[in-house]
Chains A and B, each alone.
Chain A
Amino acid sequence: MDSFDIKAFESAVEIQWCPGCSNFGILQAIKKAFVELRKAPHEICLVSGIGQAAKLPHYLRCNLFNGLHGRAIPVATGICATNPKLTTVVVTGDGDCYGEGGNHFLHALRRNPDMTLVVHNNEVYALTKGQASPTTQIGEKTTLQTRGVDIPPLNMPALAIGQGCTFVARGFAGEIEHLKELLVAAVRHRGFSYIDVVQPCITWGTRPMQWYLERVYKLDDDHDRRDREAALKLTTEWEKKIPIGILYEAEPREAFGDSFRARVTAEFLPTLRPIGPDKINEILVEFKG
């Protein structure tokens, strides 16, 4: 078997998603992207928190850390800092990343770790049976917000663009090939690359798949992805049409850990031996009165 065959990523773990879930499309796109990137399973580390999206790492063969609700980004940041050889991808959902872990998302934008963030945005808490999420549209009735959501949703792609994230894209779980292309570009882009994936929930979602299919359109070359204002405008399109593609891309800036490797040590930290007692003794001498 060629290790760059999609079969290399097939996992025997039973998938717990609802039959027909659009997450299957994202899973397929991720596998295809890794094949195209010519990455072997052991070169990849998927990191997730809690939620339906966060189960994804179990459903393909690779290294994985499935941690706590909302905390995937800091775990992945620690991995990126110390083991930069790995291709680190965070797989998360709107509740996990924009709700519970919102603070970490904000600071990842500043820190710029070399990782890819894939947010399965289904606008609902699915694993806990249908409560509103930070991206549920105003007025939508849910199992908990029975009179309708009365606070506006977060526009995280706009926030990311505003905060200088150098790769911001929107994908659609129903467009697997297109999403695969976005993933390939995101992994290749150095620094924090962020894809918000529109992922209709067929069980708890308040709008049918058809609603999304009628609105989603692919951005073409007419969109200048270096144009920050145009990108910001695209993030506000939703009710009538939903643009998918790379919304914004800028020159990569210094990634998290670059300055450490330039200033302190460029050695691979997991195999670096302790500095040893001689060096410690040398330092201890300086404490003499």
Chain B
Amino acid sequence: MKDLNIVLAGAAGEGVQTIGEILAHVVAAQGQAVFSWQEFESRIRGGQNSYTLRIGAHPDNAPQQAADILLVLNRGALQKYKPLLKKDGILIAPAEEPNDSITIAIKKTDIEKAGGKFFTNMLAVGILTTLLGIKPEIVRERLAKQFGRKGAKAVAANDRAATEGSRLAYEKFPGTSPWNILAGKASYRLITGHEALSLGAAQAGCRFISAYPMSPSTTIIAYLTKEQERLGIFIEQAEDEISAVNMAIGASFAGVRAMTATSGGGFALMCESVSLAGMTETPLVIVLAQRPGPSTGLPTRTAQGDLLFAVHSGHGEFPKLVLAPSDAEDAFHATVRAFNLADKYQVPVIILTDQFLADASFSIEDFPVDSSVADFNPADPVSINEYKRYRWTASGISPRLYPGQSKHLVCADSDEHDEAGHITEDLAYTATAMVEKRTAKLRSLKKEMRPPKQTDLDEAEVVLIGWGSSRNAVREAMELLKQDGIKAGTIHFTELWPLPDFIFPEHKLYWTVESNSGGQIGRLLQSEYFLHLSGSIRRYDGLPLTGEYIWRNFYG
């Protein structure tokens, strides 16, 4: 079976997200993989938003825009999203009768029969699940789950609307519809990037998060709050991002693993404290969920525009790490790793996500969590005679205790300090030595960094280089180029600072692919590896990179 791409569009408040979520769950329950992603306006009601589901036998977990089935809930949505409809795709839209372009018309009387305007979304669920051939009992079960807490009456009403929708679909396609999906045996978990990241934090032993709400980062603190009792994490909504990051630094200094999460503007406010974590050598994990800037930008859209900002964040010189996971599963493992490395090297670690990765829901069949476990590097207070928080070591890593752990006093200072953690003005010996101590950590850190993942690099003539959340889209672009007879391969970075040792094979055409206008990974690769680039594909309209977009733009 070929992958099927369904686009649902409507105004905020019309229930597009509910349709999408129900559909994703019933498809997964039918044993098929489903990948869904959303794009929406920064408003609570109105506007036009879409929810896209890609259904297939294999979890490609990559976004597509072109629609095999387009369902719109109003005329505005029809106008905005109709260009996405494939030539042989079908359109489901409110209309008084079907016409050349509208395959299934949702008439006013249909809506009335379904129980009124409020139930249009369930009518849509009925149409779509019938077209897809989802077993009715799976649909009923899902509706019961979805509306159960609202009572039996609500479940019955929604069920009735879905049945009405089902009737509409059968009317048009009696028997089996051409979009019927088979029942598969696989059992998928549907999990978003930020849900997986949050679970990774719990797995790593994170016990404290303070954050200030900012799209698209808020889903992290929201998920952790929902699961707080089970995960045992202290959660605080701070008065601003500066407070959020400083609370996390305080908690980390006090002896627990701590994190914060924000987006570009909030991260800008945090930068002084990124430097504070570097100077005081306090482990810290910061999630920077990217959205298009500058300034307020497009608050609910996606981008990869803060890579260089993250790499260069914080005044002064100090080691830091920047990781950019490629999907939900990777987000889980990268987060455990972020906490472990922050702890081991006593440095700030920035995890770059974006709105696409944050909100997209991935199908994962096998999710082994044991391969990433919390790894602590505790110092033993008993073995220490005279404790100095910033004691000289060849690696630059000093034994770290927390205050109150023992009789040893723990002194951390944002001023340049001596080994004991007290302010110093001794330039010749102490200040210089401390700069060198902190810098020394970079040498071993660089060796920790994992090389980029490669596909078909050896035989490739054209190599697409991506980073972060675009991995699957870049791989799809590679496949499309291969269909055109181009020998293509990919290199994908998820560990971006410090960049790992890596040798780019010679005599290949390297193209960077990223969601920003300036070509940020390109600049990093040029400065760190002296890599010559043949071209770059950049998307900066707030929508995620797709295989088709990359492929089309490769040809200019």
Closest to B191 in A: A287
Bound complex: CA A62 to CA B276 (Å):
21
Contact B408–A42 (Cβ < 8 Å): yes
Contact A81–B251 (Cβ < 8 Å): yes
A:37-68 near B, CB below 8 Å: 40-43, 45, 47, 50, 55, 57-58, 61-68
Q: Which residues of B contact A79 (CB under 8 A)?
A: 250-251, 253-254, 403
Contact B243–A104 (Cβ < 8 Å): yes
Contact A71–B242 (Cβ < 8 Å): yes
Q: Which residues of A contact B273 (CB under 8 A)?
A: 68, 71
Q: Which residues of B contact A13 (CB under 8 A)?
A: 422-423
Bound complex: CA A77 to CA B406 (Å):
21
Contact B234–A277 (Cβ < 8 Å): no
B:14-63 near A, CB below 8 Å: 24-29, 34
Pick the residue among A61, A107, A265, A274 that contacts B205 (CB under 8 A).
A274
Contact A58–B422 (Cβ < 8 Å): yes
Q: Which residues of B contact A68 (CB under 8 A)?
A: 246, 272-273, 276, 414
Q: Does A86 contact B (CB under 8 A)?
A: yes
Contact A289–B249 (Cβ < 8 Å): no
Q: Which residues of B contact A269 (CB under 8 A)?
A: 207-208, 234, 255-256
B:175-221 near A, CB below 8 Å: 187-191, 195, 199, 202-205, 207-208, 210
Pick the residue among A61, A76, A78 that contacts B248 (CB under 8 A).
A78
Closest to B372 in A: A277
Closest to A16 in B: B423
- One of B222-230, B287-295, B499-507 at the interface: B222-230
Contact A264–B243 (Cβ < 8 Å): no
Bound complex: CA A86 to CA B410 (Å):
12
Pick the residue among A55, A81, A270, A283 that contacts B423 (CB under 8 A).
A55
Closest to B255 in A: A270
* B473 CB, min distance to chain A CBs, angstroms: 23
Bound complex: CA A276 to CA B240 (Å):
32
Bound complex: CA A276 to CA B411 (Å):
31
**How many residues in B have their beta carbons less than 8 Å from beta carbons of A?**
75
Bound complex: CA A103 to CA B242 (Å):
10
Contact B412–A284 (Cβ < 8 Å): no
Bound complex: CA A74 to CA B248 (Å):
8
A:165-203 near B, CB below 8 Å: none
Bound complex: CA A102 to CA B242 (Å):
12
Q: Does B258 contact A (CB under 8 A)?
A: yes
* B413 CB, min distance to chain A CBs, angstroms: 5
Q: Does B379 contact A (CB under 8 A)?
A: no
Contact A107–B239 (Cβ < 8 Å): yes
* B135 CB, min distance to chain A CBs, angstroms: 13
Assuming the A-B contacts A68-B276, A269-B207, are A81 and B234 also in contact, with contact meaning beta carbons closer than 8 angstroms in the complex? yes
Q: Which residues of A contact B244 (CB under 8 A)?
A: 74
How many residue-residue contacts, CB under 8 A, span A and B? 211
Q: Does A82 contact B (CB under 8 A)?
A: yes
Q: Does B528 contact A (CB under 8 A)?
A: no
Q: Which of A47, A67, A288 has most B Cβ within 10 Å?
A: A67
Q: Does A279 contact B (CB under 8 A)?
A: yes
Q: Does A1 contact B (CB under 8 A)?
A: no
Bits for B232-265, please: 1 = Cβ < 8 Å to A, else 0: 1110101110111011111111111010000000
Closest to B210 in A: A78
Contact A280–B249 (Cβ < 8 Å): no
Assuming the A-B contacts A66-B423, A67-B414, A274-B204, are A74 and B409 also in contact, with contact meaning beta carbons closer than 8 angstroms in the complex? no
Q: Does A25 contact B (CB under 8 A)?
A: no
Q: Which residues of B contact A82 (CB under 8 A)?
A: 207-208, 234, 250-251, 254-256, 258
Contact A78–B189 (Cβ < 8 Å): no
Q: Which residues of B contact A71 (CB under 8 A)?
A: 242-243, 246, 273, 276
Contact B190–A273 (Cβ < 8 Å): no
Bound complex: CA A16 to CA B415 (Å):
14
Q: Which residues of A contact B28 (CB under 8 A)?
A: 288-289
Closest to B142 in A: A289
Contact A78–B250 (Cβ < 8 Å): yes
* B64 CB, min distance to chain A CBs, angstroms: 20
Q: Which residues of A contact B227 (CB under 8 A)?
A: 283
Q: Which residues of B contact A263 (CB under 8 A)?
A: 229
Contact A283–B402 (Cβ < 8 Å): no
* B389 CB, min distance to chain A CBs, angstroms: 10
Pick the residue among A67, A275, A277 that contacts B280 (CB under 8 A).
A67
Assuming the A-B contacts A77-B250, A264-B232, are A83 and B369 also in contact, with contact meaning beta carbons closer than 8 angstroms in the complex? no
Q: Which residues of B contact A210 (CB under 8 A)?
A: none
* A37 CB, min distance to chain B CBs, angstroms: 15
Bits for A248-289, please: 1 = Cβ < 8 Å to B, else 0: 000000000100100111010111111111011101110111
Closest to B25 in A: A289
* A257 CB, min distance to chain B CBs, angstroms: 7
Pick the residue among A257, A264, A277 that contacts B228 (CB under 8 A).
A264
28 intermolecular pairs with C-beta atoms under 8 Å apart = A13-B422, A42-B403, A42-B406, A58-B422, A64-B413, A65-B412, A71-B242, A71-B243, A74-B250, A78-B251, A78-B254, A81-B236, A83-B255, A103-B243, A104-B239, A264-B229, A267-B232, A269-B208, A269-B255, A270-B255, A270-B402, A272-B207, A274-B374, A289-B25, A289-B27, A289-B34, A289-B188, A289-B189
Instruction: Give the 5 A-B CB pairs with smallest separation, nearest first.
Output: A289-B28, A78-B250, A270-B255, A274-B205, A63-B403
Chain A residues at the B interface, C-beta cutoff of 8 Å: 13, 16, 40-43, 45, 47, 50, 55, 57-58, 61-68, 71, 73-79, 81-83, 85-86, 103-104, 106-107, 257, 260, 263-265, 267, 269-277, 279-281, 283-285, 287-289
